[in-house]
Structure 1
């Protein structure tokens, strides 16, 4: 810290009004500026410099909740300002932390957080921020909230229990890691970082599928799992680009199959993806696991993901629901398909034609049904195979090759995992899509 600041220190406020104490202490030290914040506020780099350059007497930066539900101006300003559809420095009567105060301004002598220092203060509130706002209004000193820049996030602990606030911080950090890499926020060099205790959430195993040539994804996902308290094992993916001609010749492809959108045969990456999941299904059957979670290594976890996952298992245990497969995240391919919440379940719904295997739960019975279908003798993309097996695929010509089609499949709603990047976003990389199309399109 000493290398970053002229001086640092820890001082306990002699009374509960610590903001007034900070203001008076800063004046006594002839400081140029006072920035008042709290541990709930997480600011982006150079935020202070940008606020100083605005040259206001007192200004607060707009901070957003990490999942878009609230901000530090919640119920104070309109949504177009909060969502930055309207970008400006908005004059306000009242604002919240954080606050930058220009101590060089002459008017600063009239600002205070202490009601005893304000003439004719007739409000019931003893909130220091409200007293500060009243003092500014009484002396015609403008207060501003600025949204010209993205200044950062707020995780307001006043709204949550300590336990949930910790979980929310974990979801936030996991999301930041998805965006920026394994350490988006520096750790203290003094205090040991806190992580939640790990859990398998009622599953026998939680697998993370990872290509050996993608160590950066494993590093990122390991950090995410640690922040979310997920105990997992790495399952080395089969690299489709490394499949030999001999291995390829042992496979049989579904007659007449081609990608529904690109009108092409399978790609090597799609073969590797299918084989990776198939090996896990075999492993589930071999080891008689009751239920297993499977994640791919390019997922992003949603807010409340682990809470929703725990609740899902709790409801399954209570209702004794028979299930084979549960999508934790998916792309619904029939927007108007009939799907309904399952009675007795808070988050579980029935399932129409859907894509994506980025995260799903599978039972012993489900894994056996999938392997018994002998898909390696009539191979097609995994996204098409699963809907066939729960009998919701729109192509009867493909479906007729698989019997029975009685997989008991469901979906979590809302989803708890999504792709880390979508195809149109910067940084999107797909080993499946980037691979070559197979040339073996007919079977001997």
Structure 2
């Protein structure tokens, strides 16, 4: 099913990352996707201002560590992009980080599959990083020409490319009001934020081989104590149960209500 939908894109880009901006702007121009640069918040330079204006701790609770300056800047930059979508009353939009690299099928995905997928889910993520604990498949919602739309029980991390409806942007802003973990963790934990969430299988965007703008995490952290390992194990079981329940409820809702249109209210 072809569509005439033109979905605008916002690209998060640090002022100093000129080469990244040149690469992604050239790629989006070739793809025929309307886009706009959104200056990223450089938390390393503006840490004191951020903490003076936003009076809360940026603490990654599950890892028991402060969030890195790069993680804080990334988090706040995505909120700024979401707010721009809401202020402009856009029915749907894409958010890219500037290290996004495109699969050769992306143009077809953008024009033919993504508008349909956004009628099924308020968040559609089409980039991700898989780890041993993430799922490479999920419950299928719809099959497109270039990919399937699935709800994974253990979503992939990464936030370099995803699309939202206006309704999804509004609800994500609310969900992101407490910064207690990196943005990609908040984005994919649908069992916590309760927003309709799905991924494409396969992903049509990957992260290009640039040096990370986010500081590397501490790989020499001390091993977890037995009580903490037990606590995390129980929490994982609880999350899994909630996600299974969520997916079952989503499938029932889709069967009863049919396809929904992107919200503009």
TM-score by length of 1: 0.44
1:311 paired residue number: 112
Q: Would you say 1:245 and 2:33 are equivalent positions? A: no
Give the structure 1 partner of residue 76 of structure 2.
275
For residues 113-132 of structure 1, the aligned pairs below 5 Å read none
Is the 2:93–2:164 Cα contact (8 Å) retained in structure 1? Answer: yes
Q: Which of 426, 431, 435 is the matching residue for 2:213?
A: 431
Cα distance in structure 1, aligned partners of 2:65 and 2:23: 33
Contact 1:268–1:435 (Cα < 8 Å) also in 2: no
Partners of 1:272 and 1:316 in 2: how far apart? 29
What does residue 381 of structure 1 align with?
182
Q: How many residues align?
A: 211
* Distance (Å, rounded) in 2 between the aligned partners of 1:256 and 1:382: 11
Q: Structure 2: any 5+ residue segments left out of the alignment?
A: 219-265
> CA separation in 2, counterparts of 1:244 and 1:255?
14
CA-to-aligned-CA distance 1:8-28 (integer Å, 9 cap, x gap): xxxxxxxxxxxxxxxxxxxxx
- Does the 8 Å CA contact 2:140/2:151 hold for their aligned counterparts? yes
In 1, distance between residues paired with 2:28 and 2:165? 22
Does the C-alpha gap of structure 1 residues 362 and 203 become closer, same or farther in structure 2, counting only changes over 3 Å? farther
Is the 8 Å Cα contact of residues 325 and 362 (structure 1) preserved in structure 2? yes
How far residue 378 of structure 1 moved from its aligned partner, in angstroms, is 4.0
Are residues 1:284 and 2:85 paired?
A: yes
Displacement of 1:339: 0.6
Cα distance change of structure 1 residues 300 and 255 upon mapping to structure 2, 3 Å threshold: closer
CA distance in 2 between counterparts of 1:209 and 1:240 reads 14
Higher helix share: 2
Contact 1:315–1:344 (8 Å) recurs in 2? no
Shift in CA distance, 223/350, structure 1 to aligned 2, threshold 3 Å: same
Which of 9, 25, 32 does residue 222 from structure 1 map onto? 25
Larger Rg: 1
CA–CA distance in structure 1, aligned partners of residues 10 and 65 of structure 2: 31
| Residue from 233, 251, 257 that aligns with 2:61 | 257
Paired residue for 2:168? 366
Q: 1:434 to 1:240 in 2, by over 3 A?
A: farther
Distance in 2, matches of 1:419 and 1:228, equals 17
Distance (Å, rounded) in 1 between the aligned partners of 2:72 and 2:161: 18
What pairs with 1:34-73 in structure 2 (closer than 5 Å)?
none
Runs of 4+ displaced beyond 6 Å = none
The structural deviation recorded for 1:434 is 5.7
Alpha-carbon offset, residue 342 of structure 1: 1.4
Contact 2:95 2:163 in 1 (8 A): yes
